[in-house]
Structures are given as C-alpha cells and as structure tokens.
Homo-oligomer: A and B are copies of this chain.
Amino acid sequence: MIDKIVPSIAAAVADIHDGATVMIGGFGTAGMPAELIDALIARGARDLTIVNNNAGNGETGLAALLKARRVRKIICSFPRQTDSQVFDALYRAGDIELELVPQGNLAERIRAAGAGIGAFFSPTGFGTLLAEGKETRVINGRNYVLEYPIHADFALIKAERGDRWGNLVYRKTARNFGPIMAAAAKCAIAQVQAVVPLGDLDPEVIVTPGIFVQRVVPIVSFAASAVPQAAA
C-alpha cells in the first residue's frame, strides 16, 4: 500500500541537502508553508537556491530562512515590500544573489519544467532590463524573449487537504504557485491542514493529482483553522 503521509515534519525535509534548489509556494503569506520552512531552518541545509514569488515578509517563514543565512540565491518577482527588511539588508550587503523574474515568466518557467518544455518564447519583458542578453525573436510580428524552465530539487507547498496518494486541494488564493511547483520539483512536499481518507477528494475536484506529490505532512495551523473551510 502506498502511503505518502509523513507523520513528522522534520522527517519530511530530512534529505534537503546543502546547495539544493527549493521552490517555496505562497504569494506573500497566503499559501506559504510556514511549518515546512521552519523545519527546513531546523534541518540546517545551506547554500540554497530559493524560488518564491517574494523574498520574505517580516521576520518569520522565508524571511527567517534568509535571516539564518541559508540562502545563496533567490529567484523571485517581487522582493521589495514594506516588510522585506531581512532580504533588503542581505541584498544591500551583497550577501544574497537575486534573479528577478517577471511574475508571469516565473509562473510559466516553473510550469514549463513540470511539463517537459525545453524553452519557450515569452511575450513578457521584451526590450526591458530583465531581458538583457536574452535571445529574442519576432513571431507573427510580435516580439518574444526566450525563457528557460526552472527545475527544483524540492518544492515546499501548502494545501488544504491531501490523501495518502498525494492528491491535493487548496484553499482560495492560497492555491497560487502550489500546483506548478509540485510538478516542477523532483520531490514535492505538501503540508496540509487535514489528511483525508482516499476517495474523500472528488476526482473532478482534485487540483494536484498525486503523481506530482511525493510527501504529505498534516499540520494544524491556528490561523487557518479558525476560518471556515467552505469556499466564500
């Protein structure tokens, strides 16, 4: 019997190695797998390349991972925020490398990795600083920039419910990068609010089929469990 449920969050991240590329789901704090990030900090892996939309908020979660100086490079679209002081300080000190990617290119490059695409001509960024040095092409009169997939060793994502086959559903806008990061990583680790018995998730409604998920860890986060689970 296949059971992807990992009872301990520490065990779920135990093989994340120094130098790994780790995708972390979430848009700001919505969908951010806070407990998995804390476990990654405890695990102690260094020289990480992190892929996330942002570069940490406040002092917890991804910001805490940065603060612990475990991150060599971050690939993101929107590092600068009102509460991105941890990243800002590291960046100004030259202590972290930044690959800034337009958000749509970030999403599509992650999706391309999961879908086996070798590269794609993107309409976004042509003629801008963020396309400097990149191959371009005119197709049907329109300008495109060649973009490559972003693969990862691990993805840490947050979902609402999961089963032992790794099937996942998400909650509202916390879905964001979860499904595409799961598919782009060799090992996708999902923290879920609840583990449900196989068959509880309607096959029409499963957002991430288990083929993309290697480990599922149940977490009860007080913030999220305080709100009703039904859609608005």
Binding site for B on A (CB under 8 A): 108, 112, 115-123, 137, 139-140, 142, 144, 148, 169-172, 202-205, 231-232
Contacts and interface: CB of A to CB of B under 8 A. Distances in A.
B123 A204 contact: no
A144 to B, nearest CB: 4
A116 B123 contact: yes
Contacts of A202: 205, 231
A119 B118 contact: no
A142 B148 CA distance: 13
Contact of A118 (B142, B171, B172): B142
A171 to B, nearest CB: 8
A119 to B, nearest CB: 5
Given A118-B139, A122-B117, A148-B139, A232 B205 contact: no
A15 B232 CA distance: 38
A108 B118 contact: no
Nearest to A142: B118
A183 to B, nearest CB: 14
Contact of A205 (B117, B123, B171, B204): B204
A89 to B, nearest CB: 35
Contacts of A170: 204
Contact of A231 (B117, B122, B204): B204
A122 B231 CA distance: 38
Contact of A121 (B117, B171, B232): B117
Nearest to A160: B204
A119 B144 contact: yes
A112 B171 CA distance: 27
Contacts of A120: 112, 117-121
Nearest to A148: B139
Contact of A122 (B118, B139, B203, B204): B118
Contacts of A115: 108
Contacts of A139: 118-119, 148
